[in-house]
Structure 1
Amino acid sequence: MLSLLIPGPKSPGNDIDIFLRPLLDELKELWEEGIRTYDAYNKQHFMLHAALLWTITDFPAYANLFGWSTKGRMVIDDGWPQITIGDGKKNAFNGHEEHNLQPSRVQGEELLQQLRQVSHVQLGLRHNLDVMHIEKNICDNVVGTLLNIEGKTKDSANARKDLANLGIRKELHLQQHGESITMSLGCYMLNLKERRAFCECLSKFKFPDGFTSNIARCVNVSEGKISGMRSHDCHLFMQALLSVVIGGFLRADMGQALLKLSWFFKELCFRTLNLPVLHRLHANIPMILCKLEMIFPPAFFDIMVHLSIHLPEEALLAGIVQYKWMYPFERYLGKFKRYVRNRARPKDSIAEAYVHLECLTFCSMHLHDIKTKFNRDSDVLMGSVEEKNRASLSVFSQKVRPLGTGHSHKLADILMVKARWYVLNNCMEEHYNKMKEENPDNIDRRHQSQFPSWFRARIRELCAVRPIEVFDDIYALACGPDPWVTSYAGCIMNGVQFHTKEHERHHRTQNIGVAVHGEHRGSPVDFYMVLHDIIEIRYMGWRKFYLFQCVWYDVGDSRRGIRVRDHLTW
């Protein structure tokens, strides 16, 4: 299978079936004869049988592996009428109203009847359409046409000739002035000033670490071009950025059509899908493409755009797209390619590195007394074993690892009071009930101001009478924190990386945003804030906990605070 990783004149191409022959023999053996397998739970052997349910490939692989037609007139074979325009290289809708029904799929009793004759069964889904490549190609079509990128745009001179041959969109026909021919700017294209503003807006976006690559490297602001976006960059652009950057450049109807296309892929890629949503997507995508046909020229609608119609139906048959797209396989193959050190012998380099990795993995899983990649993350995030066994309160067992070198300073008195109250709040209800019995008026403020001193006196009293009942954490909590604290520019909390605003001023990534679920005026609302400082507060016995000092957005003011619109919050 290493031959798949090395493109070039020696790649197998259509002869890949020769390399897959051993795999087919093993699949037949698994289905017909099975393989003797040991069940560790029941402690007995059994015959394991397996079947190939479906495959996951990109679109050109249909021709190499399965003999499907991926080029020419018969690419789209779903019953819709087509005509050939131009020089015979483009299929398009003929422009007339059609009432033919979509070809039906085998299901229900008919499928059950075929299952009784396994040799003649026709499965509803045999080969998955790869959402990753379809989304990337559609993104390239949209970006290339909007920005009029040479070699990427679908609005070429031949596309304008197709419009003239069809007799539609006369305002987009080629204009001949003497011996020269001019092509007017389409309503779906941006001029140079708009392209520069579009690219400048895109180049200023910042994202969290690991969310995506640096998209700014793909943007050329002076020329108004975008190039070199990878599959995951296009995935992010279609679902998150397109609806933000396109506003103000196109007409409202064009922006809404592109926004619905963006939301279609976003809902399709949800980790949790339900049947009503999938049925709605299946009904909406033809309408979305019809709206796009009223905007873009026929050359825009290649086979990849058409394949988006079939994606909701495949999700209905096979489940969420995360199990059916090429992202994990592309990453896995990319890891193999990084093993190559001798470019004259790439296959040998990959095989040698793979054997070394298997040996190291085997040793790491059986050596429990040393730190390996299988136990390193838990120690880094949760602290040492002694700290975990010592901490009995949740405030002293936070999963936080500070980043960088901290600087010590004395925290302001008002901030120290708030920090201490944050720790003590909701720890005990005895004092709150006592305050309520004495005087129910203004109970929350009196509880906050008097509880720290009462708590210290109460713990000292218990230590004098019943010292065995007072845990070390409770005693350290009652004694109060050290007024000198340590501030850090970054930390990792529960596996998520955070940085302060000052630290990220000169960085291309952004990890300063924090969202908290809460209530406002009796209704649930999300609060948003910007991280300004990460404070480590220490208690007796090297006990410590971490606080975020943030600046909050005003969610109550619709003009200055958070604004929520269709598919967009800012």
Structure 2
Amino acid sequence: MRAAILWTIHDFPTYGTVSGYSTQGYKACPVCEDDTSSFRIRGKTCFMGHRRYLCPNHQWRNDMEYDGTIERRSPPRILTGDEILDKLKGVWKCRAGKNDKIIKDDKQQMKDACYENNTNWRRKSIFWELEYWPKLKLRHNLDVMHIEKNICDSVVGTIVSIDGKSKDTEKARLDLQDLNIRKQLHMKKKGNKWFKPVACYTLSVKERQEFRMFIKSVKFPDGYAANISRNVNMKDGKLFGLKSHDCHILLQRLLPIGLRPYLKKKVMDVIVELSLFFKKLCARTLYVKDLKELEKGVVLTLCKLESIFPPAFFDVMIHLMVHLPLEAKLAGLVQMRWMYSIERELGHLKKYVKNKARPEGSIAEGYIITEALNFCSMYLHGMETCFNRSERNPDYLGIRKQSTLSIFNMPTRPFGRQSSITLTQDQRTQVQWYILNNCPELEPYLTEHRLFLQSQGILDINQVQKNEFSTWFENKIKKMNETISGKAQEDLYAIAMQLSFLACTYAGCMVNGVRYHTKSRDERLLTQNYGVHVEAEYDGNICDFYGIINEIWEVHYLYLNKVILLKCSWYNTNGSDRMYSEYNFTSTNINSEWFEDEPFVLANQVSLVFYLDDIKKSKDNKDWKVVQKVNHHHIWDIPSKPMDGEVDDEDPTINSSEAYQEESSNDIGVNFDSTTNDTNLIWDDIEDIECDNHQLFNELQINHNDQVQSDINSDDTDEEALLDDSEDITLSDKID
């Protein structure tokens, strides 16, 4: 068997360990390398200068409010594999291992040889011994999971002013003063006290409290995300313990909705662009033309961030965003290249560690035991094993009754407490018509009946067919049953004889592995599975109908046939006063209902949605909700026709008949606007914040040039320590 290494997947610190390129210092970007745009500010390195990616005649290049300079540089050039190999020829080859004597001996040899290294390459990775490695366009992946988490932490920490995570500190304001930019945000001295103006990208104490209440009220569908409300401490006013997936959901779903009422349009636009950038990048279908737009759009987003947030905001993680669309073009879907699955597996391995003094042995022993048990379970019958264990949300238990009619074969399983109800004659007639009208196998009979009514000269055919088709179809099947027999005829006879007056109700049901609940059941839970969405025709157009599940009915036919129906309340979305869209989000008024005489829908006709409080409208009216669509990972959708004539630029043979999962990149609209109208960066109606006078006075006495030189010297010391790294990465390092 032969194998080839396509690329490596790891977090950013491990990127430097595996590749041999130092991810620290002024040249921390492994893509830009020596041409990385960075400079020193108080206490850290700032990675700004993204205007260099703009077109040469762009007006933003001449604006000195970004970093105090006029940008004339061109975008950095990505080096080829052969050019990198030429650089690695001069890198000192250290011996592998962590023996102190070997490390000390290597340092002495470098000192005796007067070794100097002007690049960030610290050693030559063993991967370069592979013949094809220099020819690869992508060798090491930038991990989108950790980049997204770090960006989310910076954005949320700065906007909500979380201690220790906010980038808008006194040092950050002094950086603005050093660069002589954005004088509105400079520190102000009144008497012997110093004050910090309140920036437009931060929330007041009251707004922070309302934002945390919004996060506290969020309920996600079952299995979609963790309960993020547990990470809100209302007493201390903090967001804590956010995991990588929490930040993924927070950045893409919650931030644009929760911050809309509080931030200025200039700040809100760039937050939404940042959210939609990651949402489009993480889509389950990517098109080359969309990625080309993201490559250009992310530059505009970064430039707008530079014009708003202080330089301390821009660490290397913010800069790495600019390279993500190119990697997606080269390597494909993000889901195949991020760390979620790897971190999940590492979590399983760490659970094997019982003796922390010997982690490698504990993991090896636990892994072997698990593999042995899995192998033995293949020969165990009559008991539950990892190979025959049912799904978490099975849509059927036991043997499914087979029928020639698809409406009797729906992959649906009701659950919860069963109750019996007796249908009225109107309810029975309404349910029977809906089932007959939505059974694909009965379409020829509906067409035949429609032609019959047309021949009779009836004008209002739709209403007459709704009233008379059930009786006409019953008589027709009775006549056919006298001469024709068989399974197909038996099923037609069952559906024609109408349903029983006695029906069952449940609190929930499974449809294709997706869980649906009634609203009354979800009010007692921490999840939300009662929201539904249906696409249907209205006035000749395809419209979106949103609603909630009030009841789940199981109606019965002859020969033990059953049909599951959802009885819903539909929100009125007809008119701008009942529904509006902003920043690619749809908000609807839940106080007004629609089609109250048509509440029923088949269980397999709906898709799951969940609702978030629209706090922008809630100030005046509590009845507005933001609709969030959910596409489950295990459900595949195959389009029946091309989507807007989309054809992949790189492979014209790919057409829309291929399966795709979740949202497509061309379903997410991102408008990267390059206009900047509002130049006010502070809140005029909020008083300045008093700062620690003694601490700020000491900061002002520090000579900035001396501090930069001191930081450079400390960086050189840190980079020498990187030479101690070994080629081998042990599991104990990973666990620590």
Bin for the TM-score computed over the shorter chain: 0.7 to 0.9
One of 249, 259, 284 as aligned partner of 2:297: 284
Q: Larger relative CO (CA 8 A, sep 6+): 1 or 2? A: 2
The yes-or-no answer on 1:336 pairing with 2:349 is yes
TM-score normalized with structure 2 length? 0.65
Distance 1:352 1:547, change over 3 A: farther
Correspondence 1:249 to 2:267: no
Pairs within 5 Å for 1:337-356: 337-339=350-352, 350-356=363-369
Correspondence 1:439 to 2:452: no
Structure 1 residues 440 and 372: alpha-carbon distance in aligned structure 2, compared to 1, 3 A threshold: farther
- Write the distance in 1 (CA, Å) between the matches of 2:168 and 2:83: 45
1:85 touches 1:92 (CA, 8 Å); kept in 2?
no
Q: Residue 148 of structure 1 aligns with which residue? A: 161
State the Cα deviation string for residues 442-496 of structure 1 (Å, max 9, x = none): 2222222222223333333333334457633222222221211111111110111
Specify the alignment match of 1:97 in structure 2: 70
Question: Corresponding residue for 1:199?
Answer: 212
Q: Which residue of 1 aligns with 2:113?
A: none
Post-superposition CA distance 1:311-353 (Å, at most 9, x none): 1111111112111111111122223334556778765654455
Q: CA deviation at 1:83?
A: 3.0
Cross-structure match for 1:318: 331
Q: Are the equivalent residues in 1 in contact too, given 2:47–2:319 (CA < 8 A)?
A: no
Indicate yes or no: 2:466 matched with 1:457: no
Q: Does 1:86 align with 2:42?
A: yes
Structure 2 equivalent of residue 162 of structure 1: 175
2:132 and 2:253 mapped to 1: Cα distance? 46
Q: Distance in 1 between matches of 2:293 and 2:247?
A: 24
| CA deviation vs aligned residue, 1:212-264 (integer Å, no higher than 9, x gap) | 11111111234432121110111111111111011121111011111111111
Report the residue type matching 1:260 in the other structure: E
Distance 1:473 1:369, change over 3 A: farther
Distance 1:546 1:242 in 2: 37
**Matches of 2:308 and 2:181 in 1, distance apart?**
12
Which amino acid is the alignment partner of residue 70 of structure 2? Answer: E
**Corresponding residue SS for 2:141:** strand
Q: Shift of residue 67 of structure 1? A: 2.2
Residues 413 and 346 (structure 1), Cα distance of their counterparts in 2 relative to 1, 3 Å cut: farther
SS in 2 for 1:329: helix
* 2:537 is the alignment partner of 1:519: yes
CA gap of 1:471–1:558, structure 2 versus 1, over 3 A, is same
What is the CA–CA distance in structure 2 between the aligned matches of 1:162 and 1:96, rounded to whole Å? 14
1:408-487 correspondence runs (5 A): 408-425=420-437, 427=442, 428-429=445-446, 430-468=448-486, 471-487=489-505
8 A contact 1:488–1:534 mirrored in 2 = yes
The CA deviation at 1:103 is 2.7
1:565 to 582, 594, 598: 582
Deviation at 1:542, TM superposition (A): 2.0
Partner of 2:556: 538
Partner of 1:129: 142
Is 1:402 paired with 2:428? no
AA aligned opposite 1:420: Q
Q: Is the 8 A contact 1:147 1:224 kept in 2?
A: no
When residues 105 and 70 of structure 1 are mapped into structure 2, their CA distance, relative to the original with a 3 A threshold, is closer
Matches within 5 A, 1:166-177: 166-177=179-190
What does 1:294-313 align with in structure 2 at a 5 Å threshold?
A: 294-313=307-326
CA deviation vs aligned residue, 1:36-71 (integer Å, no higher than 9, x gap): xxxxxxxxxxxx322111111110112322222122
Residue 416 of structure 1 deviates from its aligned partner by 1.8
> What SS does the corresponding residue of 1:533 show, helix, strand or coil?
strand
**In angstroms, what is the RMSD of aligned CA positions?**
2.9
Counterparts of 1:546 and 1:419, CA distance in 2: 11
Work out whether residues 63 and 69 of structure 1, in 8 Å CA contact, stay in contact via their aligned partners in 2.
yes
Question: In 1, are the aligned partners of 2:157 and 2:166 still within 8 Å (CA)?
Answer: yes
Q: Which amino acid aligns with 1:144?
A: G
- In 2, the alpha carbon distance for the partners of 1:372 and 1:417 equals 47
What is the TM-score of this pair, normalised by structure 1? 0.83
Gaps in structure 1 of 5+ consecutive residues = 1-47
1:400 is displaced (CA, Å) by: 1.0
The residue that corresponds to 2:228 in the other structure is 215
Inter-partner Cα distance in structure 2 for 1:497 and 1:140 = 32
Conserved 8 A contact 1:462-1:470: no
Q: 54, 60, 63: which one pairs with 2:16?
A: 63
User: Does the C-alpha gap of structure 1 residues 338 and 439 become closer, same or farther in structure 2, counting only changes over 3 Å?
Assistant: farther
Cα distance in 2 between the residues matched to 1:488 and 1:469: 30
Shift of 1:154: 0.8
The one-letter amino acid paired with 1:49 is: R
Q: Which amino acid aligns with 1:230?
A: K
